Amino acid sequence: MHNSKKSSNFAPQNLTNMSRQTIFILTLCALLFIPANAAKRRVHTIGDSTMSEYKPAATPKRGWGMYLQAFFNTDSVEVNNRGKSGASTRTFYESGALWPSVKKQMSAGDYLIIQFAHNDEKCKGEDVYVYNSNLRAQGAKDTITDMRGTEPNTTYKAYLYKFIHEAREMGVTPILMSPICRAYFRDGKINNEGRHLLDAQRGKGKDKDYVRCMREVAEETGVPFLDMTAASQELFEQAGQEYCMTHYFNCGDKTHTGADGGMAVASLAYNLISQAPELAEMHPWLVFPDQEQFAAYAQNVEEAGKQAALKASGISFNKTLKPITLKNIQMHHFGYVPSSGHWPAGEIDEVANRYIEYAISADKKKGMVIESIIVPVFVKGGNGMNIHINYGFGSQFAGVTTIYENTALQRNKAMLIRLDQPILVPAGQTLFLRILPWYDSNGKPQHHKFLQLGDITIAGKRLQ
């Protein structure tokens, strides 16, 4: 890959051939084979599912952060993509080890790209704690259990300030990048909601404009602001709704991009960084691959991922697990439903604080390798049930990885989910497996929809 910069306009026609490539990013296991280079600068990215890493066996979704490394000289810079599916500013900062684990990886001189809003909007622009308080004051029996929602003028800004302040304390340069647009078209244009602008309720107060609020935080703190919302709006509108849905948003919804969309947005990130005078230090690190070079980069990533299978000798085991935690999920006579009794409207992704959890611990002196996981699943009541299967380590659920996704599970049809992806559990560590359900509610809360899980079987080897 060459190091010279040139114009970066990944027009729709330039990406068409690349959709034939099966592209995915290095898995954690693959990264273990790459020696650390202390001389490299690091660009860390934190955000939501539009940025995050995905395993190709689990889903066709691809976050734009998976392709950002292709636009940096790999001899000088390492991109550490830590976007997390389902995260809002609140849950990334407060839930588990997400933000603390990123901080452990950051060093003075690094850069941190911050991009949130999609999941901050989960309460229609209101802070969920305020919203629930108002519901209780009105005598409502049910309150929202999805705690991601922030209000853009208050709590959304507050969490952005926290990321900025703590990064600067470490000598890291924060960058605020507004979220990519959703493919919400109206008469050929992206509408307000697609641009993360929600109307103020009853015409009172400021509009719920997440992009404006992020820009205001940038101005108040002197942080570089990169307007990815405007850049992606221009790209999507030029491509047109039909092309966008066929090539960019080809994952079953209007929020998540596939490979072509992820690559196109990564090229926009390159544009924004290269055109920002306050980021002049980064400019010599940037490169721009042509189509052939980008395809070769993606293919190399794919091949590296194929070589990541973990091989280990040991004593075989097979164990059946029962759930140990039901977080914001209640037992029903048939299966599992949210503790609220209904599936909330407008869900398109996992909810970090709603899950069914299983655990298996390695010996204190010897680790283990999980070789297969079998999950019996049955859905009652509708075809809109979706699940992620994630794993993580320890009580803080560190190193969270999505290993399975199924959108729109078929009702009244039993299925066995079999996952043959090796997972190393170090000595003394506990592996937690989480099933995270959500329901595609078509804009309305859904009742009498149940997810039933059978006993999970885990097979593998205890290392000698």
Cα 100 from Cα 107, distance rounded (Å):
13
Asked if 59 and 253 count as a contact pair (C-beta separation under 8 A), the reply is no
Residue 306's pLDDT is: 56
Backbone torsions φ then ψ of 251, nearest 5 degrees: -120, 10
Residue 56's pLDDT is: 72
Does the pTM exceed 0.85? no
Pairing of strands 423-425, 368-380: antiparallel
Tokens of 33: 């084979």
Neighbours of 189 (CB within 10 A): 14
- The torsion angle over the Cα atoms of residues 4, 6, 12 and 14, rounded to 10 degrees, is -50
Residue 2's pLDDT is: 42
Nearest CA to 118 out of 256, 231, 308, 212 is that of 256
Can you tell me which residue has the tokens 């705690």?
147
- Which residues, 6+ apart, have CB-to-CB distance to 103 below 8 Å? 166, 170
Asked if 383 and 347 count as a contact pair (C-beta separation under 8 A), the reply is no
Q: What is the DSSP string of 364-394?
A: SS--EEEEEEEEEEEEES-S-EEEEEEEEET
Which amino acid, residue 432?
Answer: F
Cα 355 from Cα 161, distance rounded (Å):
29
Q: Could you give the percent of the chain with pLDDT greater than 90?
A: 59
Cα 464 from Cα 462, distance rounded (Å):
6
Which amino acid, residue 1?
Answer: M
Can you tell me which residue has the tokens 């595609």?
440
Which amino acid, residue 285?
Answer: W
- What are the pLDDT tens digits along the chain (464 aa)? 444 444 444 444 444 444 433 333 333 333 333 344 446 899 999 999 999 988 776 788 899 999 999 999 989 999 999 999 889 999 999 977 789 999 999 999 999 999 999 999 988 899 999 988 888 898 887 777 778 899 999 999 999 999 999 999 999 999 999 999 999 999 999 999 999 999 755 445 578 999 999 999 999 999 999 999 999 999 999 999 999 999 999 988 999 999 899 999 999 999 999 999 999 999 999 999 988 888 877 766 656 555 556 778 899 999 999 999 999 899 887 889 988 888 887 788 888 888 999 999 999 999 999 999 999 999 998 888 999 999 989 887 877 788 898 887 899 999 999 998 889 999 999 999 999 999 987 667 888 899 999 999 999 999 98
Nearest CA to 38 out of 78, 2, 5, 68 is that of 78
- Taken as a whole, the chain contains a residue count of 464
Residue 60's pLDDT is: 84
Residue 73's pLDDT is: 94
Summarised one tens digit per residue, pLDDT across range 262-291 is 999 999 999 999 999 999 999 999 999 988
Nearest CA to 337 out of 407, 409, 439 is that of 439
Pairing of strands 398-409, 423-425: unpaired
Tokens of 419: 């996952």
Nearest CA to 183 out of 124, 242, 116 is that of 242
Cα 359 from Cα 385, distance rounded (Å):
24
In 76-148 the beta strands, taken as DSSP E runs, fall at 77-81, 111-115
Asked if 367 and 423 count as a contact pair (C-beta separation under 8 A), the reply is no
Residue 11's pLDDT is: 44
Name the 3-class secondary structure at 36: coil
Cα 207 from Cα 250, distance rounded (Å):
31
